[in-house]
């Protein structure tokens, strides 16, 4: 079951990375938005890397798709 969730998380992460490509402009600090969004997505994934509760993982995946 956790293996299925892992695949779903990776699928969501890849979709987020693809979507961030639509933001080539820069923010007020001069950073490219796509890079900022990609960095934030990576941080979220890393913060939850060791989560083992299936219900919590499912909720976070669902929240990510919204």
pLDDT digits (tens, 9 = 90+) for 14-65: 999 999 999 999 999 999 999 999 999 999 999 999 998 999 999 999 998 8
Q: Give the pLDDT of residue 14.
A: 96
- C-beta of residue 13 within 8 angstroms of C-beta of residue 41: yes
Tokens of 57: 């993982």
The model scores a pTM over 0.75: yes
Residue 29 lies in a domain: yes
The verdict on residue 45 lying in a domain is yes
User: Domain residues for 17?
Assistant: 2-49
Query: Structurally, how many domains does the chain consist of?
Result: 1
Number of C-beta neighbours around residue 18 at 10 A: 9
């Amino acid at each position: 079951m956790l293996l299925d969730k892992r695949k779903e998380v990776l699928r969501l992460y890849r979709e987020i990375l693809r979507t961030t490509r639509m933001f080539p402009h820069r923010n007020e600090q001069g950073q490219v938005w796509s890079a900022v969004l990609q960095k934030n997505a990576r941080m979220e994934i890393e913060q939850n890397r060791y989560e083992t509760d299936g219900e919590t993982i499912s909720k976070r995946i669902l929240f990510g798709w919204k």
